[in-house]
Structure formats: structure tokens, C-alpha cells
Amino acid sequence: MKHSTKVILISGFSLILVILAVFLFIKIRGNTANIFDRQKNEEIPSERLILGFSQIGSESAWRTRNTQSIIEAAEAKNIQLIFDDAQQKQENQLKAIRSFIVYQVDVIAFVPIVEDGWDNVLQEAKDAGIPVIIVDRQIKADPSLYAGFLGENGFEEGRSAAKFLVEKCAKDNRYRINIVEFSGTENSSVATGRAEGFRSVIKDDPRYNIIYSEDGDFLRSRGKEIMDKILVESKGQLMYKGHKIDAIYSHNDSMTLGLLDSLKQKQVPANDTIIISIDAEQKSIDALTQGKLNCVVECNPNLGPILMELVKQIASGKEIPKVTYMHESVFTENDDFSLYKPRGY
Ligand code: GZL
Ligand code: ZN
């Protein structure tokens, strides 16, 4: 009897093992089929597509509009959006992307807050067979790790800003131009691009000198802080270390609005200081038409519809362009302001 009990126990135990093995086989088979599904070239109808998107935060009106554009476009294309706001922290973006991988979304897209630190997570996405689209800002990583980039050309935006300055100074016959730069987030491709693009235009003309540059992190509060500090040190003059500030180049409208807040609060007149900004949110265009700014370079946040087209293409196994730039224009004091349309952000 003892023997038979033992056999039942074993056979009972082995029966459980067999059931477990069969169950596991079906489960794996099912999942495998799922992954193979992904590789078939069939067009996956968009109502079944899931896009994991990591946004950097809501540091500017530009960013808020950028987010809206993505949410609206996903809805319009019936793409399920898992959206994560990283509150300006790269580690939150890395966590979000890893959760998208575990969730096995169809496509991952994200705005890299800074250029570096993405190789490992991109390799993990690649190993999981999930294509990645880089959005808005660029990264320093092996290009084979992501499907493509859609966004802004910071270098060209910087060049446009400087070209306006050079044309205006030529007209006004200015012989020496001291420039103060309000820079965007350090190590972000957009701040690097806007800085390099601007400098590429003025580098061979000794009349142009960037006498000071500070990182304002694309924030209105930081733009005001930097200008407050300059005005305190120059006892209310638009001077820096004894040099007259002839021009201000700000990498985004939020910081520009902050420096204007400071000039207004301290009642410092700036009408003969050339101020150039980037983004073209409504408040900045309003400041241009009121004569407070001289030039606003557009940076187009409305990339949602193009992004969703790229998501659908890549999800059905098609290639997408390695780089897709958004169309952008330049607004200046010489425009016919009556032709301006509402900016929507
Ligand atoms: C530019 C974008 C920048 C905007 C800022 O493409 O990354 O980030 O110019 C935003 O307003 O903070
Ligand atoms: Zn842009």
C-alpha cells in the first residue's frame, strides 16, 4: 500500500507537472505567435496599435502645445496612447520606456531631454522587437538603435536668429555688437544646435561678441532670474561687466518672457536693445507686434499628425526616414503684422 501511495503521490505530482508544462507551452506558443504577428508585413489596423510616449514635461507653452498635438493626433488616428510625463527628469523617461517594453507596446516614441544616456534602453527596446522614434530633440546614440527622428532643426533656428541680427546691424551701421545669450537646457540637442547655429553665422565677423551666456533651462522663471542678476550687477543698466548689451539672443520664448518681466519690473527701457527669441508662442508674437522684440524664430510643436503617420508606417514593417524636420518660419519687426494668424499656443 505504502508503495502505491508513493506512486500516486509521484504520479499526482508528475500529473501537475505535465499540466503545467502543457499550459506553459500554450502560453509561450501564444506569445510567440504574438511577436511573429508583429514581424508580418500586414498593415496592423491602427485601432490595435499601442504607442508608448515619454514626454519631458511641461516647461513651456511650446511643450504644452506639443503634448496636445500628440494626444489629438493619436485620437484622430485611433492609436492607443500610453503617455508619460517625465517631470523634466531623464531617469523618469528611462523608467517609462522600460515599462513600455514590458507592456509590449507596438511603437515607442520619446522626446530625449538631453542627448546622452539612451543606448542601453534603446538596445533593450531593439531586443524586444519594438521600434523607437526620437521626437523633437535629437540624441547621441548608434543610429541603428532607433527607426528615425522627427522634430526641430535647432542649428537652422540658431542660424535664422543670427542672420536677422546681422541684417539689422548692417542696416543700422552698428560697428560693435555685444550679445548676451539665454541658453536652453544644457546638453539638450536643441540648446547645442541653437548655440552652434547662431555662432556659425557671426564667427568670422569680429564686431559680434557673445559677452555672456547662461543656461536658463527653457524656463520663464530662470529667464527673469538671469536678467534680474544682470540688472543688479549693472545698477539698472543693460550692461554686462562694463559692456553695453546691444543684443539678447534667447533660446526660447519662456525665457524671453521672463527677461521681459524683469525689464518691466525694474523699469529698464530696452528699445535700442535687439532681442531675438525662438518658439513663436502667442505671447512672444504679441511682444513682437508691441515692439518689445525684434525677431521670433518659429519652432513648430505641431508634430502629432506626422508622428502618427510614422508610427503606422513603422508598425506595419515599413522603413521611415532617418530624419524628418518640421517646417519652420521666421517672424520679424519688418512683417505686416495684420497677416499674422493666431498661434494656438
Ligand atoms: C524645441 C523644444 C524646446 C522649445 C522649448 O524643439 O525642444 O523645448 O524651444 C521647449 O520651449 O522647452
Ligand atoms: Zn523647432
The three state secondary structure string of 50-104 is: EEEEEECCCCCHHHHHHHHHHHHHHHHCCCEEEEEECCCCHHHHHHHHHHHHHHC
Q: Please enumerate in sequence order all residues whose Cβ is within 8 A of that of 166, keeping only pairs 6 or more positions apart, or say none.
A: 201, 202, 205, 208
63 lines ligand 1 (CB under 6 A): yes
Query: In sequence order, what are the beta bridge partners of 247?
Result: 179, 274
- Which pLDDT score is estimated for 28? 42
How far is ligand 2, taken at its centre, from the CA of residue 327, in Å? 8
Q: Which atom of ligand 1 is nearest to the CA of 253?
A: 11
| Best residue for ligand 1 mutational test, from 218, 251, 282, 302 (most atoms within 8 Å of Cβ) | 218
Asked if residues 312 and 293 have their Cβ atoms less than 8 Å apart, the reply is: no
d(Cα 296, Cα 275) in Å, to the nearest integer? 9
| Nearest by Cα to 238 from 206, 272, 265 | 272
Q: Looking at the chain, how many residues does it have?
A: 345
Residues of the chain with pLDDT under 70: 1-47
- Which pLDDT score is estimated for 10? 41
- Which pLDDT score is estimated for 129? 97
Asked if residues 296 and 284 have their Cβ atoms less than 8 Å apart, the reply is: yes
Q: Which atom of ligand 1 is nearest to the CA of 281?
A: 11
3-state helix, strand, coil in the chain (%, to 5): 50, 20, 35
| Best residue for ligand 1 mutational test, from 190, 281, 283 (most atoms within 8 Å of Cβ) | 190
Question: Model confidence over 236-295: pLDDT tens digits?
Answer: 999 999 999 999 999 999 999 999 999 999 999 998 999 999 999 999 999 999 999 999
d(Cα 70, Cα 81) in Å, to the nearest integer? 9
Single-letter residue type at 225 = E
Give the closest ligand to the alpha carbon of residue 188.
1
3-class SS at 240?
strand
- Which pLDDT score is estimated for 171? 83
- Which pLDDT score is estimated for 35? 37
- Which pLDDT score is estimated for 2? 39
How far is ligand 1, taken at its centre, from the CA of residue 187, in Å? 13
- Which pLDDT score is estimated for 48? 82
d(Cα 31, Cα 236) in Å, to the nearest integer? 68
By CB atoms closer than 10 A (0-12, 13-18, 19+), residue 17 is exposed
d(Cα 186, Cα 166) in Å, to the nearest integer? 26
